[in-house]
Structure 1
Amino acid sequence: MTSLKFVFLLFLISFSALAQKDYKLWLQYDKIANDIISSEYKNNIQGIVSFGNSETSKITIKELENGIVNMLGSKPEINSEINGENNLIIGSHTSLNSELRKILKTDFDKITNESFIIKTINLKNKKQIIISGKNDIAVLYGVFNFLRLIQTHKSIQNLNIADSPKTNIRILNHWDNLDRTVERGYAGFSLWNWQKLPDFIDERYIDYARANASIGINGTVLTNVNANALILTPQYLEKVEALANVFRPYGIKVYLTARFSAPIEIGNLKTADPKDTQVIKWWKDKAAEIYKRIPDFGGFLVKANSEGQPGPQNYGRDHVDGANMLADAVAPFGGVIMWRAFVYSEHDANDRAKQAYAEFQPYDGKFKDNVIVQVKNGAIDFQPREPFHPLFGAMPKTPLMMEFQITQEYLGFSTHLVFLPKLFQEVLESDTYQKGKGSTVAKAIDGTLYQNKLTGIAGVSNIGNDLNWTGHPFAQANWYGFGRLAWNPYLDAETIADEWLRCTFSNNENFIKPVKNMMIESREAVVNYMTPLGLHHIMDTGHHYGPGPWVSDLSRPEWNPTYYHKADKNGIGFDRSKSGTNAVSQYAPEAANLFDNLETCPEKDLLWFHHVSWDYKLKNGQTLWNSLAFKYQEGVDQVAEMQNVWNKSEKYVDSERFNEVKMLLEIQQKEAKWWRDACLLYFQQFSGKELPAGIEKPTQTLEYFKSLKFPFAPGN
């Protein structure tokens, strides 16, 4: 019995250690096995000199010490004075001594408040490394960056780094409900345990803040855009305050979603009309109440008059009236209103893709200075691929904020491996042509296109209380990649994948090269087996799980997949050309002409903009029908290759994470075939053509696929 207990204890210890790896995200800080690399780092970090005594400074030194001890196996001495050489000097501009401030004066003159400096300096003929910035949060960012250099085995011999974020607001939008369910959440329940707050502070809140600070995220919206007014009551505000206190030392501001009808629901008013004096006073008083508790409260995110949410239009007012009323309430405290442009109406079924532009573009220049309009990356709804939203670049007097979805609502949930930074980069690099060639979406959101002072980028969170945070181990890379692109929208997805793999798994090149390539190809694989050649929104309705191109019986036309693909005997695709809905006219002329012409429209967007004959010849010489079939098959084959790559990586990865990804890839392979077979069988009814040679024949009937129901699919 004793030996059995011992074996069980060893199992528990082993399981705990492995589980901890899954929990640690990209902050693994694994011991460096290469003695030559390790020695270089040890020689350059013989001591740590810390200036500053704030809570953030203490967290920074603790993080640095933890990283160095784990990666180098030795604990450097921490001092408050500089002795000898090869010290790592940590401190903000205000906490450094005058001699160090003088050395870094030129560097400080060039940087912003959130920028950090990592520099090798000569101090009294002795070599030192200094990490600094204008404030303690900037120093924390610098330390995380420095630790990443070590994690990824980069040289620290002669450093001269000054890095500034390109956007002001870098924020996660949690679609978390007060009952801890998460809309479009595929990684368990909400992190926020409202029942135990404010008195019980879960360690996960601290680790969440650490992870976000490590990639430069500086804000979090705690609650769902389909808002609940109760979050604005004192009962919940004291809980929000407790979270704000945890996040503050990590540079993270708390924001809340504002339900527009809150003055009625919790304020006992008879209206929520933004022009009503009592309503205006109620919101001003509520803002003052929140800021008294949380002086650095960020502001409100608002979804109004969309998908049944209340808003100013309920009272004959417009988005400007609603946003500006709230902006006035938070302005005295430095708060911001993020007003979502995700609107569409059943009363205008001509083309859902046109509605947000038509509704918001005329408001350009009418919003208050502390309002930023939050726009989804595409005009429909977080599809595997969409052309960039036409609003980007089209409102020069209004700051626009990008909204990406990190959680994979339309991309296989947390069971499919999809590296989203590739999608994000594609959108950010898209040319709007609004000020001529080179007017990219990235320039529209970082303020450089029109010199907007308020800038931002938001990501709909994929985080839950699953042990590994995101449901799929590789979905952690989408959180990481979002943060890196929010800091710098010009980063390359391949660079991000390389960093994440090295920090999370291994620096072994035999592992990095094939797995990085797998990640980079993964998004295109999903597009191929779900929505190739510009198809979109053909997922089953409601839960958006699996294919449902046949759905046509829902009450609102734009809820039906048949509305989007319009397959008939003549062809397939949504005609948004000048001879169709003329959605192309919402883009700058250069982009409009590109999309409008069947010959110049990128084939990846073909069926988004055009209804195309089944016999139309693509650039590969194949008909549209054959090309569609080959794309679906290619997607399935790409997942099979992903499985092959991962199976060869076993010796570089701990067994738990290896097996977890292996099982998930098996699910992805089955579901890729499901998508291929169901869609090709359905569209074949209209094309009337045989599947070309090389396409696997379906093993089930179309009726079988139509019969599948998923009443308990997650995320609803």
Structure 2
Amino acid sequence: MGPVFRLILATLLAFGLAGAAGAQAAEDGYDLWLRYRALPAAAQPAYAGWGTELVTDGDTPTLRIAAAELERGLTGLLGRPPVQSGSVSRDGAILLGIATSPKLAGLDLPTAKLGREGYAIRSARIRGRDVTVIAANTEIGLLYGAFRLLKQVQTAAPITRLDILDAPKVKLRMLNHWDNLDRTVERGYAGFSLWDWHKLPDYRDPRYTDYARANASIGINGTVLTNVNANADILTPAYLEKVKALADVFRPYGIRVYLTARFSAPLEIGGLKTADPLDPKVRAWWRAKADEIYRTVPDFGGFLVKANSEGQPGPQDYKRNHADGANMLADAVKPHGGIVMWRAFVYAAENVEDRAKQAYSEFKPLDGKFRDNVVVQVKNGAIDFQPREPFHPLFGAMPKTPLMMEFQITKEYLGFATHLAYLGSAWEEVLAADTHARGKESSVAKVIDGSIQPYSITGMAGVANIGDDRNWTGSHFDQANWYAFGRLAWDPESSSRDIAEEWARMTFSTDPAFVRPAVGMMMASHQAVVDYMTPLGLHHLMATGHHYGPGPWVGDLARPDWNPTYYHRADASGIGFDRTGSGSNAIGQYAPNVARSFADPKSISEDYLLWFHHLPWDWRMKSGRPLWDELVLRYGRGVDAVGQMRATWNRLEPFVDPRRFADVTAFLGIQHKEAQWWRDASVAYFQSISKRPLPAGAAPPPHDLDWYKALQFKYAPGHH
């Protein structure tokens, strides 16, 4: 090789290495919280000699995945791969083993308490060697344990004297994908659906594996592949083969697949003339369909059903009730170990006194009438995933029926993907709320995890925010909501602040100079969004259909409960929805202690004030200001909080790679502009009703009300 050639080769290699380094530096978010970037040099000495050997007791797909994850993680974090070995031969080894393994004999691990998905991580001595043991009763438990140990390293936590015992408190921890067969996603703000139905089953996108891996890392064990506004075609043989392909990918990661069942499927694809759940032919059709599904996907989880809500077909079309419909499907899947998740999100088409009361009114009388493999899936609040809602009155009201929480991870009412709104704190607020269903220990969390009633089925579902965008969720900080959902589904009593800190450390930096302000920004973000969109308990103020931007003036839609004016009820005398005994009496659906706390406008949390009370504009608030002034200032407070978030983020530039820093910076700019829009449009409208001057220091909206009303966004994403 001549000197000129060597010079050219060296130059090419230099440019190649520089390009590779640049590509690594410009992260795109695809790796989520599983980045496994090298720990800072100052943290590395704590791990010297640790994790140098990896011993796996067995050889199955799931164990191979767990071992590969440990190898991948330790190589990235510590800069060296562990040596794979059949037995412990050196200090610092990591041993993965089922509790009954002879290799764990004598360690006296309390695995009997861990169930089938829990794990133990313990520092131990084996044949004179210092070893870190990951033990579980099943291979899935070992996989969860492997991810847990890697999180310990990622967050720069100690790896000596470990004694971790962890098991999920909730059995079903699943994502609900509102994905359609044409790959559009209802209320999706991260691109198209991950599921490429046209190419399935023959092409299995590697991203399906990455999806399963990410979910397993946070303990999610189920996925509903299709939209609750269901399409019966998913139940046809051709699509079931495609479902099988996805199930095969997900299975080693402990994830079962579920499908939404369109109640009218017997008519649409079965050739029947009715879908009456009590008709013998209909029942036989569903039994045969279940048999077919389980022949194709033996570990199929079951059905999720939306019925008699927003125009979806259901048992009430045949003068039957929800239990009749759910039980028919439950009987069909029962022989195969399947379940039915029947959604309680229902509201009738006729004019009613208060939409917030309808789910309780329809489901409370059916308590105890559902089959034992039915769980009723209840949204966190009684309206529809509003920026803030009081907890749903059904929680604590149906002791004989398992109730499953449904949260919305995708931000349909919270600014879509561009607004930074960490929802862990919002969900914690709901889960910690006391239902007073039984004694003192009766939080919503304890209702859904079976602590109060020993349900055979417990569950939490999250409406997924995942799409085919490179960063999965449309924005980098929306990944935190996917992460937080998984962590809270595993343990509904977890601290949302602790979860935010974990995520920030794993996703960006372990440096306290980054973590403290970033977590502070996350924890303040939900309140900021509530303030500039729906302060003081206001709700359902968004524009029609797409739900993008403010529309508090809308009052001309066909149904009263589609109109924002139905919910805020602003008039010359005041504002708010009276749900006390003098109004709709929705508070009567709560336990007496809860109802009393909501009924008094002087003692209720002002976060829920206008949800339950219609009050005069000059009502004296806790701040001493009249309600009108407080409302205007809350709107402004939300805008100011976004400005503070932008300033905080700008100071964090040294800790973040350029691409992700620029992405977040741009989105915070959008959020600030749109927060101002929400504030100005809302203030302009409510001032036109209240006829009151703005409080001192509050700037008038830059446009008149007609200007805001004229704005149109018919192509906003996620609209159905």
TM-score per shorter chain, which class? Answer: over 0.9
Mapped to 2, the partners of 1:214 and 1:152 lie a distance apart of 14
Specify which of 464, 475, 486 is matched with residue 489 of structure 2.
Answer: 486
Mapped to 1, the partners of 2:432 and 2:33 lie a distance apart of 26
Q: Are 1:346 and 1:558, in contact at CA under 8 Å, matched by a contact in 2? A: no
Q: Higher mean Cα deviation, 634-643 or 686-695? A: 686-695
Corresponding residue number in structure 2 for 1:82: 88
Q: Are 1:306 and 1:342, in contact at CA under 8 Å, matched by a contact in 2? A: yes
* Matching of residue 60 in structure 1 with residue 66 in structure 2: yes
Mapped to 2, the partners of 1:225 and 1:318 lie a distance apart of 19
Corresponding residue number in structure 2 for 1:30: 37
Deviations 1:348-370 (A, max 9, x none): 42000000000001100000000
Specify which of 370, 375, 381 is matched with residue 372 of structure 1.
Answer: 375
TM-score normalized with structure 1 length: 0.97
Mapped to 2, the partners of 1:237 and 1:475 lie a distance apart of 31
Paired amino acid for 2:187: R
Q: Residues 73-112 of structure 1 correspond to what in structure 2 (within 5 A)?
A: 73-94=79-100, 96-97=101-102, 100-104=104-108, 106-112=109-115
Mapped to 1, the partners of 2:358 and 2:446 lie a distance apart of 24
Corresponding residue number in structure 1 for 2:654: 651
Corresponding residue number in structure 2 for 1:46: 52
The Cα shift of 1:83 comes to 1.6
Specify which of 599, 614, 620 is matched with residue 611 of structure 1.
Answer: 614
Corresponding residue number in structure 2 for 1:230: 233
Q: Higher mean Cα deviation, 42-51 or 638-647? A: 42-51
Query: SS state of the match for residue 312, structure 2?
Result: coil
Deviations 1:495-547 (A, max 9, x none): 01100000000011111111110000000000000000000001011001000
The Cα shift of 1:79 comes to 0.5
Q: Are 1:633 and 1:696, in contact at CA under 8 Å, matched by a contact in 2? A: no
Paired amino acid for 2:363: F
* Matching of residue 660 in structure 1 with residue 649 in structure 2: no
Deviations 1:271-323 (A, max 9, x none): 11111111111111111111111111100000001001001111111100000
Query: SS state of the match for residue 133, structure 2?
Result: strand
The Cα shift of 1:14 comes to 5.8
Residue identity (%): 57
Number of residue pairs matched by the alignment: 711
Q: Residues 208-607 of structure 1 correspond to what in structure 2 (within 5 A)?
A: 208-607=211-610
The Cα shift of 1:434 comes to 1.1
* Matching of residue 207 in structure 1 with residue 210 in structure 2: yes
Query: SS state of the match for residue 273, structure 1?
Result: coil
Mapped to 2, the partners of 1:267 and 1:254 lie a distance apart of 23
Deviations 1:424-445 (A, max 9, x none): 0000000111113331000010
Instruction: Note the residue ranges of structure 2 that are not aligned, 5 or more in a row.
Output: 1-7
The Cα shift of 1:628 comes to 0.3
The Cα shift of 1:42 comes to 3.3
Deviations 1:624-661 (A, max 9, x none): 00000110000000000000000011110000000000
Paired amino acid for 1:241: K
Mapped to 2, the partners of 1:240 and 1:102 lie a distance apart of 44
Per the alignment, do residues 5 and 57 of structure 1 end up closer, same or farther by CA in structure 2, a change over 3 Å counting? closer
Query: SS state of the match for residue 284, structure 1?
Result: helix
Mapped to 1, the partners of 2:50 and 2:76 lie a distance apart of 16
Mapped to 2, the partners of 1:6 and 1:130 lie a distance apart of 42
Corresponding residue number in structure 2 for 1:633: 636
Q: Higher mean Cα deviation, 688-697 or 165-174? A: 688-697
Mapped to 2, the partners of 1:675 and 1:194 lie a distance apart of 38
Mapped to 2, the partners of 1:45 and 1:635 lie a distance apart of 47
Q: Are 1:244 and 1:253, in contact at CA under 8 Å, matched by a contact in 2? A: yes
Mapped to 2, the partners of 1:85 and 1:33 lie a distance apart of 23
Paired amino acid for 1:42: A
The Cα shift of 1:93 comes to 2.4
Paired amino acid for 1:75: P
Corresponding residue number in structure 1 for 2:3: none
TM-score normalized with structure 2 length: 0.97
Mapped to 1, the partners of 2:220 and 2:92 lie a distance apart of 31
Mapped to 2, the partners of 1:12 and 1:301 lie a distance apart of 47
Deviations 1:564-605 (A, max 9, x none): 000001000000001100000000000001101121221110
Instruction: Note the residue ranges of structure 1 that are not aligned, 5 or more in a row.
Output: none
Mapped to 2, the partners of 1:71 and 1:384 lie a distance apart of 38
Query: SS state of the match for residue 451, structure 1?
Result: coil
The Cα shift of 1:11 comes to 8.7
The Cα shift of 1:194 comes to 0.5
Query: SS state of the match for residue 415, structure 1?
Result: coil
Q: Are 1:375 and 1:402, in contact at CA under 8 Å, matched by a contact in 2? A: yes
Deviations 1:427-485 (A, max 9, x none): 00001111133310000100001111210000000000000000010000000000000
Q: Are 1:19 and 1:467, in contact at CA under 8 Å, matched by a contact in 2? A: no
Q: Residues 112-123 of structure 1 correspond to what in structure 2 (within 5 A)?
A: 112-123=115-126
* Matching of residue 69 in structure 1 with residue 72 in structure 2: no
Paired amino acid for 2:52: Q
Mapped to 1, the partners of 2:633 and 2:64 lie a distance apart of 57
